[in-house]
């Protein structure tokens, strides 16, 4: 009876509309969101800049020219009138040079590499540890769940920022003093090759997975009693198979969206660590490090802090817009949360 009423109300032209799948639907919702599209374009541009930094940057990020230290281009006198009188003018540097005469623009361009790497690796590590931990906890339940979640509770009570500072200090000082030949020594060498990035990843990995573990556990709990899981168990699938083939694909969507929304926090975490001197090793150009160096001379040479700060802000904007758009596209009910 009710089915009939519904059928009668359907307009014929609506029936002719092509049926769209979940992904297609989400994609269409995404590209209708102007802010998200703008964010996406900026992110793609940044990726492009990061990959081809060698060709785009006018100079090397570490090349010093001490005669040009703190030099500014002529156009900057109009923007920052206070620096007239003492600043050394050199139009060779588009955004000026820093305290040892390195080109700011080139350093900002190379800096995208650090921020973007963190933006992609950070969520990946957190997702990997968090989903495995959360799946095990939620799937097995009972005492295992209880113990595993209490551990997360304890880590949750650890002041996160302090913990990561402590970890970074630990890594920095331990692995620089090791005897050659040991495993830790090679890890230290690898980190030095990556300009100090490896430890940032480990630090993020050790501190950022707790939220993801909680979220995964909640999702797994809600899905593990469903009929298709019971069916899988009935035909003799093992725990691992059920967890990773049947449950995980059904819960991964919201987790990825949550991680996308967390990307700006990873970017600012790296900038923060580099700012206080526990992030990348100089001369690797990180925006956080550049802002820290620039903040010291903000009264005399404001350009040295403001341009890296703008680069960081624009990147954060882009990822925030894109993340919001993705969330709305995949789950329209959550719009604006």
Partner 1 sequence: MTRYIVRRLLWTLLVLLVISLITFILMHSVPGGPFDREKAVPPEILANLLAKYHLDEPLYKQYLRYLWDIFIPHISRIPPGSSLTDDHLINIKIGNKLWLKWMNFGPSYSSRSRTVNDYFRQQFPVSAQLGVMAFLVAISIGIPLGILAALKQNTIIDYIGMSIAIFGVSVPVIVLGPILIWIFGVTLKWLPPTGWGAKPPFILGFIPSNLKPEFFKYAIMPSVALGLAQSALIARLTRASLLQVLREDYIRTARAKGLPERTVIFVHALKNSMIPVVTIMGPMFAALVTGTFVTETIFGIPGLGKYFVLSITNRDYPLIMGTILLYALILVLANLLVDITYAFLDPRIRLTD
Cβ proximity to partner 1, 1 vs 162, nearer residue: 162
Least Cα distance to 45 among 97, 109, 92, 101 occurs for 109
The binder of partner 1 chosen from 23, 170, 228, 244 (CB under 8 A) = 170
Cβ proximity to partner 1, 220 vs 273, nearer residue: 273
Cβ proximity to partner 1, 77 vs 306, nearer residue: 306
In the numeric block, which tokens belong to residue 186?
């090679």
Residues 315 and 46: beta-carbon distance below 8 Å: yes
CB of 80 to partner 1, least distance (A): 8
Cβ proximity to partner 1, 284 vs 315, nearer residue: 315
Polymer length of the chain: 337
Q: Is 41 in the site for partner 1 (CB under 8 A)?
A: no
What share of residues in the chain are helix, strand, coil (percent, to 5)? Answer: 75, 0, 25
Q: Is 276 in the site for partner 1 (CB under 8 A)?
A: yes
The binder of partner 1 chosen from 2, 4, 5, 173 (CB under 8 A) = 173
Please count the CA atoms within 13 angstroms of the CA of 289 that sit on its side-chain side: 23
Distance CA 172, CA 164 (A): 12
Show the DSSP H helices in 52-103 as ranges. 53-56, 76-79
Residues ≥6 apart with Cβ < 8 Å to 300: 70, 83, 86
Q: Is 158 in the site for partner 1 (CB under 8 A)?
A: yes
Site for partner 1 in 291-330 (CB under 8 A): 291-292, 294-295, 298-299, 302, 305-306, 309-310, 312-313, 316-317, 320-321, 324
Least Cα distance to 92 among 59, 56, 62 occurs for 59
CB of 279 to partner 1, least distance (A): 11
Helix axes 34-51, 104-140, angle to 10 degrees: 110
Q: Is 161 in the site for partner 1 (CB under 8 A)?
A: yes
CB of 119 to partner 1, least distance (A): 13
* 158: phi then psi, degrees, rounded to nearest 5: -70, 125
CB of 239 to partner 1, least distance (A): 29
CB of 161 to partner 1, least distance (A): 5
Q: Which residues contact partner 1 (rule: CB under 8 A)?
A: 35, 82, 153-154, 157-162, 165-167, 169-170, 173-174, 177, 264, 268, 271-272, 275-276, 278, 288, 291-292, 294-295, 298-299, 302, 305-306, 309-310, 312-313, 316-317, 320-321, 324, 334, 336-337
């Amino acid at each position: 009876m009710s089915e009939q009423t519904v059928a009668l109300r359907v307009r014929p032209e609506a029936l002719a509309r092509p049926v769209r799948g979940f992904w297609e639907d989400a994609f269409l919702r995404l590209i209708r969101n102007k802010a998200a599209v703008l964010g996406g374009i900026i992110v793609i541009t940044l990726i492009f800049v990061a990959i081809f930094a060698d060709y785009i940057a006018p100079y090397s990020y570490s090349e010093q020219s001490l005669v040009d230290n703190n030099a500014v281009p002529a156009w900057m006198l109009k923007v920052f009138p206070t620096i007239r009188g003492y600043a050394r003018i050199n139009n060779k540097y588009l955004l000026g040079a820093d305290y040892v005469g390195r080109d700011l623009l080139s350093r900002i361009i190379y800096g995208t590499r650090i921020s973007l790497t963190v933006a992609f690796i950070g969520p990946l590590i957190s997702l990997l540890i968090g989903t495995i931990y959360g799946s095990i906890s939620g799937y097995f339940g009972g005492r295992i769940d209880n113990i595993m979640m209490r551990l997360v509770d304890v880590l949750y009570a650890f002041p996160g920022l302090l913990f990561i500072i402590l970890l970074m200090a630990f890594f920095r000082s331990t692995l620089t003093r090791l005897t050659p030949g040991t495993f830790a020594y090679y890890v230290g060498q690898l980190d030095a090759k990556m300009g100090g990035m490896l430890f940032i990843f480990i630090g993020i990995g050790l501190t950022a997975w707790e939220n993801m573990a909680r979220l995964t556990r909640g999702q797994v709990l809600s899905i593990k009693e469903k009929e298709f899981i019971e069916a899988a168990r009935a035909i003799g699938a093992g725990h691992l198979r059920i967890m990773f083939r049947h449950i995980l694909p059904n819960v991964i969507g919201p987790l990825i969206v949550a991680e996308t929304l967390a990307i700006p926090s990873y970017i600012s975490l790296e900038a923060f660590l580099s700012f206080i001197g526990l992030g990348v090793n100089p001369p690797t150009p990180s925006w956080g490090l550049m802002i820290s160096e620039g903040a010291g001379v903000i009264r005399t040479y404001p350009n040295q802090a403001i341009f890296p700060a703008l680069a960081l802000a624009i990147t954060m904007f882009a990822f925030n817009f894109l993340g919001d758009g993705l969330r709305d596209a995949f789950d329209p009910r959550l719009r604006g949360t």
